[in-house]
Amino acid sequence: MGDGVNIPFIREDVLDKIAECRKKKEVPNFSSKVFEEAIDLSKQNLQHVIFSGASFPYREGETKVGANFTGADLKDADLQNAHIEYADFTGADLVRTKLEGAYIEAANFPKGNVRLGDADWGNYKIGEEVEAEKKKGEEQQKLLRIAEHRYRHLKQWYTDAGYYDTAGEFFYREMEAKRKRLGWLHPKAKRWLGWWPLRGEKVRLNIYRWLYGYGERPWRVVAWGMLVLFGLALLYFFLRGVAPYDLSEDAFLNSLYYSAVSFTALGYGPWFGDTSVHSWVKGVGAAEAIIGVFMIASFLVTFIRKMTR
């Protein structure tokens, strides 16, 4: 028989202890205990059981803990990669509970009736998305669809609870699951619909992802803006498009200034005349101005969205 310290608890140990404690009208306490790898506690009544600081080691197989956790204490428990489908967490305490990579299909996290706000989601990836990366075809799409739905549910839970940063992270993962899902199309659907409608959707999501992280990564816009500004400055410089039309320090500074003014659309003023730049530089500068205005607006929108919600 396990003791949960030197010898991990097995399923029978857990059920026997719970039955014994309830017979004595005591609260079953598994604080800081260790359970066997891939323990199966699914479909068990674990109401008000204390699992604070407990560890459920994961193994390639499954650690199934989809159970009735109504009122259970799971503070600081390690449920990483665990299968907790159809688990009921009504009134449960999940403060600092490690849930990274957990499979949570159909898990019940009632709004206002579970302490989920301070749960530790790690990289915010749930098990369905992680598993989908190992699959192909219909199985992959099914897992990604489930992941997308669960991320949407968690995003809404955290939004309603006022944890907007966490809600934003789950929105990002929701969009990632959608983007990955659109990369695959059933052969029959391909024959009738063709690639282009969904392919165009995926291209659009890729642009949103890389440019500003679906609105959740405003500093990506800054990085891209700096790349455009300095990249075109170097283009003007090395192609000798800005006076004094050589590879001198003055030419580089003039190229950088021209690029910055073009990017911010501030206007060149009297400093640049007809002979200050070659004609092709004027065309590139006009295009840079359009890109710059778009990037500045994108940064302001995403930054304000992040800071004011």
Task: Give exposure, 96-113, as e/b (b: 16+ Cβ within 10 Å).
Answer: ebbbbbbbbbebbbeeee
- In angstroms, the CA 75 to CA 120 distance is 10
- Kindly list the domain boundaries of the chain, sorted by start residue: 1-122, 128-210, 218-308
With H, G, I as helix, E, B as strand and everything else as coil, classify residue 184.
Answer: coil
- Structure tokens of 209? 């992802």
- Topology alike, domains 1-122 and 218-308: no
Residue 73, strand partner residues:
50, 93
Q: Which residues in the chain show pLDDT less than 70?
A: 1, 59-62, 183-200, 270-271, 309
Supply the pLDDT for residue 60: 62
This prediction's pTM: 0.82
- In angstroms, the CA 168 to CA 175 distance is 11
CATH for 218-308 is 1.10.287.70
Supply the pLDDT for residue 264: 92
- Sequence-separated (6 or more) residues with CB below 8 Å from residue 5: 33, 34
Supply the pLDDT for residue 44: 87
Sign of CA pseudo-dihedral 158, 159, 161, 162: positive
Neighbours of 269 (CB within 10 A): 7
Left, alpha or beta for 252 (phi > 0: left; psi -120 to 50: alpha)? alpha
CATH for 1-122 is 2.160.20
